[in-house]
Structure 1
Amino acid sequence: MFVDKAKITVKAGNGGNGAVSFHREKYINAGGPDGGDGGKGGDIVFVVDDNMSTLVDFRYKRKFVAPNGQDGGSNRCSGKGAEDLVIRVPRGTLLRDSETGRLLADISGDHPYIIAKGGRGGAGNQHFATPTRQIPRFAKPGVVGEGYELTLELKLLADVGLVGFPNVGKSTLISVVSAAKPKIANYHFTTLSPVLGVVKLDEQKSFVMADIPGLIEGASEGVGLGHEFLRHVDRCRLIIHVVDVSGIEGRDPIEDFHAINRELKSFSEELAERPQIVAGNKCDMASAEQVEAFRSFIEGQGLKFFDISAATTKGTKQLVDEVGKLLDTLPPITEYEPEPMSLEELELKKEDRRFEIEIEDGIYYIDAPFLEPVLSTINMEDYESLQYFQRVLRFSGIIDKLEEMGIKEGDTVDIFGLQFDFVK
């Protein structure tokens, strides 16, 4: 089954929490804080797997979570960093943030792509000792790892794309010029998914050709197979437009040529401007007048024309040789650059520290999800730990908001069920 779109959720690992610990050893008094740091959470890493040709595996597994970093220990022992989670995809897979549509990566190279970074480990209490604060009873929590809902879109990497109406001989052509073995039959839409073939010009030179499932007029409105598969010709450096010049199915080759180019343009203006060669197929079944009339029309459009018979291989070598020469003059296959964050996304990032405050029966209820990991490291019976917590509340703007709402000293504040008196 050929699947070229999928949606998955990825979540990098959280950093481990820093430890609160004090050195204890016989004959040593006041050993001091020795809480170790938490380990880093695992990253989400994508790599190319050339043995994969579709995204079908992501139909069955949609959630990928990297392991968390280990918490810090005593004796200044840092927690172990978690291993990265490696996800393998076909070459040419685009990764987009499903929420915004922003392109995060084009997985076309051989290097690993880090898509979601694991959280940093929290600092242990060994880092918070000062001459005036010798017994810090708090540590920092690990940072939460990044997470995304991703849309995966496969755009095959091919130098040359074959386009044309169904049953014009595209599958036959790719089968005779490469080692590809597509299904070939005398009915429309025999090819239901793109087929890749490597065309060897000589021992040192080759190119990749893609047979794109047949278009028909109205594909952009969803007729036939629609134009979904045109994403696979989007990267192609050169288009070979295959046309049945024999008219054996009762169609006019000139009108077929115009119809397909209209569909290409409706899909992408840029794609319609891509360099194009026209291959007039089934010339062995056409009269000389039919072939010459179509040749005259195509050359009048400023395009190169080759009369071929894919079934008998007539003219296919000349076509392939010309394609090889043209490819030498064209830029390499497009690799898309990741898109920067928009202003709206940057604002959303700031909202990671958002909070809400409501007053009920004189109690100030604070809802701030980012405070949950912080609270787990606070010792409410330790003065210095409470001071640290107060600095967090001040830095995040919560205290300023409480004062703006008119809170007074001694009023009750509630954070996730933990209640305490407000002190200025």
Structure 2
Amino acid sequence: MPPVVTVASPAASQEVAAVALQERYGHVRAASCRLAAPLSPEDAMVQSMDDASPAKWHLAHTTWFFEHFVLEAAGQAPLRPQWNYLFNSYYDSAGPRHPRPRRGLLSRPSLQEVLEYRRQVDERVLAALDGDVLPGPARERLELGLHHEQQHQELLLTDIQHALWCHPLRPAYRADLPRPPDAAAAPLQWMAQDERIVEVGAPRWPPGPDFAYDNESPPHRVLVPAHAVASRPVTNAEYRRFVEDGGYRTPALWLSDGWARVQAEAWERPLYWEPGLDAACTLGGLRPLPPHAPVCHLSYYEADAFARWAGARLPTELEWERAATPLPVQGNFADDGLLQPRAARGEGLQQLYGDVWEWTSSAYLPWPGFKPWQDDTGEYNGKFMCGQWVLRGGSCATPRGHVRASYRNFFPPHARWQFAGLRLARDRA
């Protein structure tokens, strides 16, 4: 007798998907509040530099995103219309906004008011999902909003790390954070890659079933020349040798803009390293520098200079994606609770995901055939395709499940406060 095959009805499948979306919404939103929980109200409003934002602002902005792009699309009026000016980030289509460098001046609303705002918007979103009153575009924006919030979870951590590092007493975000295992890194090996035509990029979402940002699409075929990539990222001990060898005093190693930045800002070592090169300020406070863990908090300029000093180069993002695509997305992510890179273990290509974002030599430019999303969320990625460089792979502060082989992060070349490191590459004849 043939087996009985049960096929779920479309209505039942939609109901299961709706429940899963509700659960994921609750999980992502709760994660932001857990990350902010160790902070005092005073901590939560500190802005230590123009590129960073206060934790309170991150909590409010991600909430504003759901209210503005999801609930208003469903016909609901905003709870506090005047907050649109305070918590809009860079969406010109959403109206004027408070200047980014002055977000730390927003002592009002209070942290408690922001948390109450989150609670009220969450109630509205969950009720809209439960009542199935969100139109299709609003549901798509809800999905985008979850990934957007995960990006801000990492920014919340990196921004508060910078703020606490600026404090004279160097307090810890969480003094109880576990320390990464003090293990020797696997020996660096060169992994040879033959010349090959490969497909990179992700199917456009929507209509594709799997979320991807618009800057990841469309899939396209490219010729990747023969090359070799290092089996793991560069370690603290390896980068220390560069510092001790006068790397920050040798102009021939640096791009012109990078050398100008070194001179103007008196760079002598990676951000957060102590002058003795044996300790660094971490989210767990001032701690000994683990020699075998991946070096991080480097600018593109520093990564490029080290690669030049090492007789190598940075990989292109095409080379990186080709190496990462066959591998499972596994690694040391924020969910593991270390919030610090750990030494590589094992054989073959390691740590392509998690631990540290890896600078590539690729400028952040559109893929052939790129089209931004065709509504006001089209401002999300495309308008930044100038003066930025691509990083790949995620970090120890990235939420698990947020990245994939096609994920394209980007920052200006001088940015140092992110968990950014490097992996070496070199040409092959």
- For the aligned pair, the TM-score class normalised by the smaller chain equals under 0.3
TM (norm. structure 2) is 0.18
Structure of higher CA gyration radius:
1
| Greater percentage in helix | 2
